[in-house]
Structure 1
Amino acid sequence: MEHAGKGFITSIERFKPHTFQAELGEGLFMSHSHEHDELTLILDGEGYYSSQEQNIKVSKGDLILIPSKLHHGFVCTKPWQGISVHFSYDKVPAYSQYLFLNAYRQPVRIRSSRLNDEHMSWAELCLSQMEKEWKSDEKRDDSYDLMRIAFETILLLFHRNTATLQAPTEKTSDREIVQEVLKEIHQCYNTPITINEIASRHFLSESMLRKKFSEILGISPKQYIINLRLEEAKRLLQQTNKAIDYISSEVGFTSSSRFYDLFVKSVGVTPLEWRKQNQHAH
């Protein structure tokens, strides 16, 4: 079966040991930017990543996230090697999108996380599996799932090893509650969750949660879940050859007919028509 495409990844590159000559001077930090986001793991050596406001020292075990279109530069000071993945944020799976909401609280900055030895080995294994699946000429539909799981694992390792300093508060703010609700939704959007269940976990009535959620995000939690399911369905339609009814169930719709109706209402064409129009638009 022909694979639908390479999905959310646009490139995976390994950089090998090298150093620059000192006489190159400031040219070492000549900035550039990418149309896509970048995730880089330093496997060995040392160096610096820089942007207009930052100059971050990195070494073995550092995991680096660079937002798209951010001008940045880098220099190796001790022979280094690593793996870089460039990807399209708008095509990453739903839970990964939530993780990036946290990672890019300051979207114009480079973010880094220091992994311990065990987590570095885990991240390298995940990146190697992603690289193997992405470069394979014999892709299957489970290739997408393997890359998704590996990608989410790396992002979770990034968050686990990033120190987050927050001032203690006596009362959880509405924005913090909505942030936690978003996390739950992105984790469980493909299960038969209800707004009432989510609200009860935060000691709120359903109507109060709807009010807080809508005030902050401009959309009801129910519609947010529907939109998230539809966006994930579109990614699966474009990036895999999975059957449409299977995709409907996988993203959380219990009724195929409801999925079709909501998809047509949102997109204007049927899932099959949308797939034909977009599956090879890479």
Structure 2
Amino acid sequence: MDYLFDMPTDFKVYKIKRDKSSGSQPTHTHPYYEIFYLINGDCTFFIDHNIYKLNRGDLIVVPQGELHKSSFPQHGCSERYVLCFKESNLKWLNDIVGPDFVKESLSTGVISIPDKRRDYVESLMNKMIFENEGQDILSPAFIRTGLIELVLFIIRCRRYEENVIKELDVDNQLMQQIATYIYENYDKKLSLEDMSDKFHISRSYLSKKFKAVTGFGFKEYIVNVRIKNACRLLLETNKSITDIAFECGFNDSNYFGDAFRHVKGVSPNKYRKNKEAI
């Protein structure tokens, strides 16, 4: 089932501490953007098929609908800002530079904010937290301008600055390769036995390590990747639900329907009909 934060409005921002006693966050998606900025400490962040080791000053953009999970540190604690906003907040920016430019610039990615610019980012976050408490009738305007300024800064970093893009987590390179293979070959037959043979590891090790690193069971991840692509086809094409099921790697349309309801909470047909609400 989709894991959704409580967002009664189109914007939310907060500062939070986490350690191993906080429990594990479930892997989830949500129908809005999220910006995650690590103030101090460290954590592992899994998004779609990529695994990142985040440290102080790292910022990750999580687009709408992307599978992701953060793992809390085993020692000490980490502190982060989390900012969530709906696409409607970007209308002004879309009108100026174009929605395609904005969407591409806010695709999944991790930026290592340079030391000299961290105070600037953290100041913006603190201002939005302050205004989000509802200081006066001008607070919504201050929040909107703060968000746009932060998004513009992120776009500039990603497009025009050098050496700010975070590399993947090399400590989990094998699990990274397996997740990427599944992500790119979701429409094919994928079994634990076949993958263990392909990557020359035991089935038990693959199963346990994949779960520990990504938060997904092996089969669970395959199903979620297939469902994600099925959602895209349901909204962007007129293909039949049966054709979409087979195209996404399901060999039984009934099983596809059950799996879809389990992950999305509605049937494929209802999901397609509710396109405007998604």
In which range does the TM-score fall when normalised by the shorter chain?
0.3 to 0.5
**TM-score (structure 2 length as normaliser):** 0.47
Q: Which has the larger radius of gyration?
A: 1
